Structure 1
C-alpha cells in the first residue's frame, strides 16, 4: 500500500520536521561513531597510562623530598630526629670511650710515678721501695681511667646531658643546612667527604666535672679534635647536590605527584579500575623504597670502618636519622593498600559483592531490631537511605581530607581515621535501615505521584 505524498512543510513547521536516514547512511553513521568512541577511549587510556607511569616514578622521590624538606626546615622535626641519639646506648658508649681516652691521654701518669721515685730516692728509700714505686704506673693509670670513666659515664647518661644535647641541636639547627650547602659551621658539618658531629659542649662539661672532682690535669684537655665522624663517603658532593635539589622540590613535588595521580584516574575510561591500579602501583613503589632503604643501610654499615664508628653505633645513627622516612613510607603503603581495597570492594567482583551483601544484611538486621524495639529514625533514616551513595562519598572524602591535613600521619593515625570512618558508615547504614518499611513505601509512593 502506497502512502500519500506529504505536503511541503510550512515555514513555521520547519522545526518539527525530522530527516529520516536511509539504512545504509545510518549504518555508516553508527560505524563512524563507534570508531570515534574507540579512538577516544584509546587516547584516554594512553594518556592515563603515561600519567600513571609519571606518578609512580615521582612517588618515592616525593616521599624522600618531603622528608628532607621537613627535617631541614622544621626545627622541631630536626630535634625530634636527633634527640634519641643522646639516650642510645651504642652512641653513649662511643662518647664515653673517646672522651675517657682523651682525658687519660692528657694525664701524665709516667711523670707522677717518676716524681714519686725521685722523691723516695732523695729520701734514701731502699731499692725495693723504689722498684715498687716505679711499678705503680700501671695500677695508677687504671685507677685514673676508672675514675674518669665513671665521671664521664655519669655525665653522658644523665638527663641533664640529654637536655644539653637537645638544646645544642635546637640552637644549631642551621648547621644541617650548612652541611647540605657544604659549609663547616655548627654542630654538624661536612669535611673532606665526611659528616662530623661537634661534641665541644660535651667536652667542656666533662672537663669541668673532672676539675671539680680534683683532676686539675683535666683542665689541659685540648680544644682540638672535638669531633666524631658520623658518615664517610666519597660521593658527599653529589649527595649534597641531590639533597639541595630535593629540598627545593620538597614542597611542590608531593603536590605534583598527587595531581598527576588524580589526573591519571580522571582521564582513564574506567575510573575505579584506574584508581585501584594507581593505588597498587604506589604501594609497590613504597615497598621498593623500603627495600632501597635496607640496601643503603647495608652499604653504609659496610663503608664505615670500625675504627671510625663501631657497627652497632653506626646502625643506631642510620636508623635514627631515617626512621621518620621509614614511617612515612609505611604510612603511604598502608594508605595505598586501603585505597586499592576500597576501590575493589566497589566493583562487580564476586568477593566484593559478597562483602557488600553481608554488610547490607548486617546493618539491615540491626536496623530492623532497633525498629522493632521502637527506635525508628523516621524521615531522617529515609533521607539517609535515599542518599546513601552521596553520604558514603562525603564520609570517605572527610577521612581523606583529615589524613591530608594531619601533620605527619603515622600508621596508627591512618588506622584511627579509617576505623572512625567505617564506624560512621555503619551507624548511618543502621539508622537508614531503622526508618521503617511503611515509611519507606510511603516515600516511594509519594515520589511516583510527583509529576
Structure 2
C-alpha cells in the first residue's frame, strides 16, 4: 500500500476513534451504571445523609402530611403553628436508620419498576399502554419492621397498604423503551469500535509514534469535552428546574449520578496527556545526535623542497 494512502487511512481511523471516545464513555456509563439496579442504589445511598437532600425530603413529606390533614379536617387556622412541628418531626426521622432503609428500598423498587417497563419483561407492559407504577407496600413494611425493632411506640400499628404511585406515564414508556434498547447496544459497541479504530489506525500509520501521540491527544480532548459537557449540563439542568424544586438537593443528586462519568472523563484526559508526553519524550531521546568531526591524527608527510631545474640556454 502506498505511504500516502496508509497515512490517509490512518488519519481517518484515528479521527473516528477520538470522536467515539466521549460518546462511548457516555453510553457505557448510562448502560452499565444507571441501568444496573445495584449500582444505582449504591450510588444513591450516600445521599440519605446529605443535608440538602434530607431537608428537601423533610419539606416535601411535611407538606404532603399537611395537605392530607387539610383534606380530612380543617386546620387552616392553626396550620402556621402546626407546620413547624410536623417538619421538625419529619426532619428528625430523616436522621434515623429507618429513613436510610426507606430511601434505599424506595430507590430499588422504583428502579426495578422502570427497568422492567423499559425491557418489557412483563408481557402486559410490552404494549406500553399502561403507566409504570410503584407499590409502596414493601417500603412501608421494611420501615415498620425497623421501627418495631427500635422499640418505637405504636410502630406495630402502622398500616401496610398497597399504594400505587405513578412513575412514568403510558405515552412515555414506548418512546423511552426504544432509546433504552439503542443505549444498551451502544454502551458495548461504541467503546469497542473506538479501540479497534485506534489500534488499526496506529498499525497502518507510516510514523507510528506520531500516530500514538495524535490518538492520545484526541483521547485527552474527548475527555476534556466530556468534562465541559457535564459542567454545562449541570448548569442547564438546575436552571430548567421549577421554582419549587430545591436546587441544592437536585445538584447533589446530579453530582452523585455523574460522579463515575466525571471520574472516567478525568482519567481519559490524564491518560491521553501522559501517553502523548511519553511519545514526545521518547521521540526526543531517539533523535540522532550530530557527531563531532574528530581531528585527523595521521602524521603529515613533510613536503620535499622542489628540485631546481636548469634553465635552457
TM-score normalised over the length of structure 2: 0.71
- 1:434 is aligned to none
Q: Size of the alignment, in residue pairs?
A: 275
Residues in 2 aligned to 1:52 and 1:297: alpha-carbon distance in whole angstroms: 30
User: Relative to structure 1, is the Cα distance of residues 241 and 228 closer, same or farther in structure 2, using a 3 angstrom cutoff?
Assistant: closer
- Any stretches of 5+ residues in structure 1 without a counterpart? 1-38, 114-136, 185-189, 354-451
Corresponding residue of 1:259: 196
Q: State the partner residue of 2:232.
A: 295
Aligned to 1:84: 46
Aligned equivalents of 2:201, 2:4: Cα separation in 1: 14
Pairwise mapping of residues 88-99 of structure 1 onto structure 2 (< 5 A)? 88-99=50-61
1:347 deviates by 0.5
Q: Partner of 2:2: helix, strand, or coil? A: helix
Cα 1:146–1:155 shift into 2, 3 Å? same
**1:269 and 2:231 correspond:** no
- Residue in structure 1 matching 2:278, options 317, 321, 342: 342
Distance 1:106 1:168 in 2: 21
- Structure 2 stretches of 5 or more lacking a match? 123-127, 289-313
Secondary structure of the structure 2 residue equivalent to 1:269: coil
Candidates 25, 35, 54, aligned match of 1:63? 25
Aligned position for 2:242? 305
Alpha-carbon distance between aligned partners in 1 of 2:90 and 2:186, rounded to the nearest angstrom:
43
Q: Output the CA distance in 2 between the equivalents of 1:89 and 1:196.
A: 28
Give the Cα separation in 1 of the matches to 2:283 and 2:69. Answer: 77
- Give the aligned partner of residue 113 of structure 2: 175
Whole-Å Cα distance in 2 between the matches of residues 96 and 45 of structure 1?
62
Query: CA 1:159 to 1:245, structure 2 compared with 1: closer, same or farther past 3 Å?
Result: same
Offset at 1:49? 0.8
Give the whole-Å Cα distance in 1 for the aligned partners of 2:13 and 2:85. Answer: 66
Cα distance change of structure 1 residues 66 and 180 upon mapping to structure 2, 3 Å threshold: same
* 1:327-366 deviation digits (Å, cap 9, x = unpaired): 111112111111111111110269x99xxxxxxxxxxxxx
CA 1:49–1:100 in 2, change beyond 3 Å: closer, same or farther?
same
Question: For the aligned residues, what is the CA RMSD?
Answer: 4.3
Contact 1:199 1:228 in 2 (8 A): no
Deviation at 1:305, TM superposition (A): 0.8
1:330 matched to 2:253? The reply is no
**2:103 counterpart residue number:** 165
Q: Deviations 1:174-225 (Å, cap 9, x if unpaired)?
A: 33424645999xxxxx9999x999877667759x97xx7689xx97x9957x
Conserved? CA contact 1:60–1:285, under 8 Å: yes
> CA offset at residue 249 of structure 1?
2.3
Q: Which residue of the partner structure matches residue 90 of structure 2?
A: 152
Q: Whole-Å Cα distance in 1 between the matches of residues 129 and 94 of structure 2?
A: 26
Q: Hey, what does 1:317 align to over in structure 2? A: 253
Q: Deviation of residue 152 (structure 1)?
A: 1.6
Deviation at 1:236, TM superposition (A): 9.2
**Structure 2 CA distance, aligned partners of 1:161 and 1:306?**
26
2:113–2:134 contact (8 Å) kept in structure 1? no
CA 1:312–1:202 in 2, change beyond 3 Å: closer, same or farther? farther
1: CA distance, partners of 2:173 / 2:239: 16
Equivalent residue for 1:249? 186
1:99/1:203 contact within 8 Å kept: no
Between Structure 1 and Structure 2, whose CA radius of gyration is higher? 1
Q: For the Cα contact (< 8 Å) 1:85–1:317, is it kept in 2?
A: yes
Task: Tell me which protein shows more helix as a share of its residues.
Answer: 1
Report the equivalent of 1:20.
none
Q: Structure 1 residue 107 and structure 2 residue 43: aligned?
A: no
Task: Report the Cα offset of residue 312 of structure 1.
Answer: 1.6
